[in-house]
Chains A and B, each alone.
Chain A
């Protein structure tokens, strides 16, 4: 089969020095479905952004039909016949499906008026031609996610796409909808379309694709014909060797329940259920790890627990206090601390000083405020103490947080949250983008908090981190808890992977044991 698209030694280095793509060589054949797999951060999305013209490559070439192309923007890529269905849909909710389909290339009547009837006819014709069933006159907000996705595919076809890129298209679909989509994609392929399917769900890749390319750490590791390879091989290539950090870790001595979480649910603005009746109990002196592929509800769960989002159902209780949909202030007052997943937006106030950030949750206490005025000297002393204890490298506590490196910024967050008067810690992505030295320090600190008897909920995309720190584990998939492991040290990455990818689910009774009732 002939090659339609080829990337040769493609590199993409971002402004901050991150090499997201390292000498990537990719070949896409005309009329095939190529799977592109890899973990989060492996460089799949960056590669596709380059192909789709959203990001210019740092070096290397892109060949389309054997000719070198350079796209200044996605408009150039669209004109060249490349279409992309983003993970987050590019749709206008209050317009109808037909209106969305023709947006930017609208049919007009002779009078110059918008021709809605023709837009609907175009939608009906395309829908019939490609066998992607949509309701042209319905508004996007009123139709299912799977129909929105069909609409996105039709949009690319309306604009003349020959190569279709689908970025994790099944993450928002039910299994039945996924099967339907796959049948439709195969039909498209048989009509001559070329499809690039980005995923980290191996089962789907084997169900759908003709070939598969594996990426890890920004590089292409291997490409296989789907018939010549098994899941084990690919998952080994995807994960590589997980290096577990060795930590001096004593056995946990879990005590009574510190936080009771029952039946939480969250639906996002697009109507997608992100958290689906999640229940668990967090015990004193225990680190409960939350494992899952990014975007399976972990972030939303943390936001509900810490007062940043409202749950539709269920309750959160800490001791005798009801913290369901409580404000962040009330949550903190009740003795919960929160290491936010994004230190730049939620974790710190960047232009404020280190001292102000460290005391942001306690400046109003009598020790630091008297008669409506801040006690500057007490604040300075406290801040200096924390800076020293947490080894925050800075010239003075009055320096702006924005001027610190990522690792030291994170230590400011950790320093504040771990010295708060809290016995429950919700710790999210504690070492994301932090250098090795700081990672070790943060890990040791988390363990010492546990040994003091605090209850810790640990959410991290770094599987090695969760496995080495946690005492017990829950696995989340599509907003649900699909597994509970009472002893984290007895679980292997491979086994976890099956649950994370949704290939396996424990039965209800097993999962309910995490309630410790």
Chain B
């Protein structure tokens, strides 16, 4: 077994799959990060991904253009996020419950639409849908080993990397980033400073809708070349846990998404070793939960230690 693992971790093929598995989870994690920073939980990321994946396939099949498919898919992802915003912010419903309701609606709704159009409840393979192109990156592809891992990935993988930079800039370099944090941390302080918290939250929801839309399109137009029922496979939920592991930062999201990507890719390899596939498929999720628990425990410990320090500090004075 150790030998097998060593050969897996040494192969560029494995790391290529890691990068590919990491990209969609990275995109949704970034979406979860930015909404959470503004103090609203986007539980509907899963639904956004599902509708984006289906819409992308349908639009690309009908128009023959993967680009129109991508645009339509992203729009579908944003639409779901806006519905969440409408109910949670304008009508004062509980955001988490609305999110879960939207996800259930999406799970059934996407299959219903798929069946109505193709007559198949499981897969869209009867449609001539397009896939997004692979990109061979000049210079990068010439680096030995690393070139094999990082070049030749799907376009969306590179967009995911760019999204890290964009979210980092939004949160840290732009005025709105400070306002997002103010809204999320102390909504009263934000309001007292003349900021409209609802506008800020809507903005982050739209951004998260775009990101989940990209992730959804990647799953059905890159990672695979079809829409299958339940294609998002819980990644939208994982993102909300990964967001905690990421510590609310764009750069931390890479780390959190890699935990999932590394185990997800490993599961693909382990399947060939004759281990029960159900167990293996559960691995990425179990590891993410474990990461979540560890990070939360460490953070609680630190907070308790901080309070004790503050208390002790007062005595010295």
- Residues of chain A whose beta carbon lies under 8 Å from any beta carbon of chain B: 74-75, 78, 89-95, 99-100, 103-106, 108, 112-114, 174, 265, 267, 271, 273, 276, 312-313
- Known A-B contacts A104-B193, A104-B195, A114-B173; the reply to A92 vs B185 at CB < 8 A is yes
B189 touches A273 (CB 8 A): no
- Known A-B contacts A90-B186, A90-B192, A103-B178; the reply to A267 vs B310 at CB < 8 A is yes
Compute how far the CA of A89 lies from the CA of B310 in the bound complex, rounded to whole angstroms: 18
Across the two chains, which residue of chain A brings its CB closest to B308? Answer: A312
A273 touches B314 (CB 8 A): yes
Q: Which B residues touch A267, using CB under 8 A?
A: 307-308, 310-311
Q: Which A residues touch B193, using CB under 8 A?
A: 90, 103-105
Compute how far the CA of A487 lies from the CA of B264 in the bound complex, rounded to whole angstroms: 71
Task: Say yes or no: is B177 at the interface (Cβ < 8 Å to chain A).
Answer: yes
B185 touches A94 (CB 8 A): yes
Compute how far the CA of A273 lies from the CA of B309 in the bound complex, rounded to whole angstroms: 11
Compute how far the CA of A4 lies from the CA of B188 in the bound complex, rounded to whole angstroms: 28
**With contacts defined as CB atoms under 8 Å apart, how many contacts are there between chain A and chain B in the complex?**
69
CB-contacts of B292-309 with A (<8 A)? 306-308
Across the interface, A92 reaches (CB within 8 A) one of B174, B182, B194, B306, namely B182
- Known A-B contacts A92-B185, A92-B186, A93-B185; the reply to A265 vs B311 at CB < 8 A is yes
Across the two chains, which residue of chain B brings its CB closest to A141? Answer: B306
Across the interface, A273 reaches (CB within 8 A) one of B177, B182, B185, B311, namely B311
- Known A-B contacts A94-B185, A312-B308; the reply to A103 vs B174 at CB < 8 A is no
**In the complex, how many angstroms separate the beta carbon of B234 from the nearest chain A beta carbon?**
30
Task: Say yes or no: is B163 at the interface (Cβ < 8 Å to chain A).
Answer: no
Q: Which B residues touch A312, using CB under 8 A?
A: 307-308, 311
Across the interface, A113 reaches (CB within 8 A) one of B174, B181, B185, namely B174
**In the complex, how many angstroms separate the beta carbon of A307 from the nearest chain B beta carbon?**
17
- Known A-B contacts A104-B193, A106-B175; the reply to A95 vs B188 at CB < 8 A is no
A103 touches B195 (CB 8 A): yes
Task: Say yes or no: is B317 at the interface (Cβ < 8 Å to chain A).
Answer: yes
B189 touches A91 (CB 8 A): yes
Interface string of B58-97 (1 = CB under 8 A from A): 0000000000000000000000000000000000000000
B175 touches A114 (CB 8 A): yes
B177 touches A103 (CB 8 A): no
Compute how far the CA of A341 lies from the CA of B144 in the bound complex, rounded to whole angstroms: 70
Q: Which B residues touch A94, using CB under 8 A?
A: 181, 185
Q: Which A residues touch B189, using CB under 8 A?
A: 89-92, 100, 103
Across the interface, B178 reaches (CB within 8 A) one of A93, A106, A276, namely A106
B190 touches A103 (CB 8 A): yes
Task: Say yes or no: is B179 at the interface (Cβ < 8 Å to chain A).
Answer: yes
- Residues of chain B whose beta carbon lies under 8 Å from any beta carbon of chain A: 173-175, 177-179, 181-182, 185-186, 188-190, 192-195, 306-308, 310-311, 314, 317
Q: Which A residues touch B195, using CB under 8 A?
A: 103-104
Q: Which 6 A-B pairs have the closest CB atoms?
A: A104-B193, A90-B189, A104-B194, A103-B193, A267-B307, A271-B310
Compute how far the CA of A235 lies from the CA of B185 in the bound complex, rounded to whole angstroms: 40
Q: Which B residues touch A174, using CB under 8 A?
A: 317
Q: Which A residues touch B308, using CB under 8 A?
A: 267, 312
Compute how far the CA of A94 lies from the CA of B189 in the bound complex, rounded to whole angstroms: 13
Compute how far the CA of A95 lies from the CA of B195 in the bound complex, rounded to whole angstroms: 16
The 23 listed contacts between A and B (C-beta, < 8 Å) are A74-B192, A78-B194, A89-B189, A91-B189, A92-B190, A93-B186, A94-B185, A95-B181, A95-B182, A99-B178, A104-B179, A108-B175, A113-B173, A114-B173, A114-B175, A114-B177, A114-B178, A265-B311, A267-B307, A267-B308, A267-B311, A273-B310, A313-B311
Compute how far the CA of A94 lies from the CA of B306 in the bound complex, rounded to whole angstroms: 15
Across the two chains, which residue of chain A brings its CB closest to B248? Answer: A94
Q: Which A residues touch B194, using CB under 8 A?
A: 75, 78, 104-105
Across the two chains, which residue of chain A brings its CB closest to B178? Answer: A99
14 extra A-B contacts, CB within 8 A, seeds A103-B182, A104-B194, A106-B175: A78-B194, A90-B189, A94-B185, A103-B178, A103-B189, A103-B193, A105-B193, A108-B175, A113-B174, A114-B175, A114-B177, A174-B317, A267-B307, A312-B308
Compute how far the CA of A133 lies from the CA of B230 in the bound complex, rounded to whole angstroms: 58
Across the two chains, which residue of chain B brings its CB closest to A119? Answer: B178
**In the complex, how many angstroms separate the beta carbon of B170 from the nearest chain A beta carbon?**
10
**In the complex, how many angstroms separate the beta carbon of A123 from the nearest chain B beta carbon?**
14
Q: Which B residues touch A112, using CB under 8 A?
A: 174
- Known A-B contacts A108-B175, A114-B174; the reply to A90 vs B307 at CB < 8 A is no
Q: Which B residues touch A313, using CB under 8 A?
A: 311
Across the two chains, which residue of chain B brings its CB closest to A114? Answer: B175
Q: Which A residues touch B182, using CB under 8 A?
A: 92, 95, 103
Compute how far the CA of A92 lies from the CA of B181 in the bound complex, rounded to whole angstroms: 8
Q: Which A residues touch B179, using CB under 8 A?
A: 103-104
Compute how far the CA of A113 lies from the CA of B177 in the bound complex, rounded to whole angstroms: 10
Compute how far the CA of A78 lies from the CA of B194 in the bound complex, rounded to whole angstroms: 10
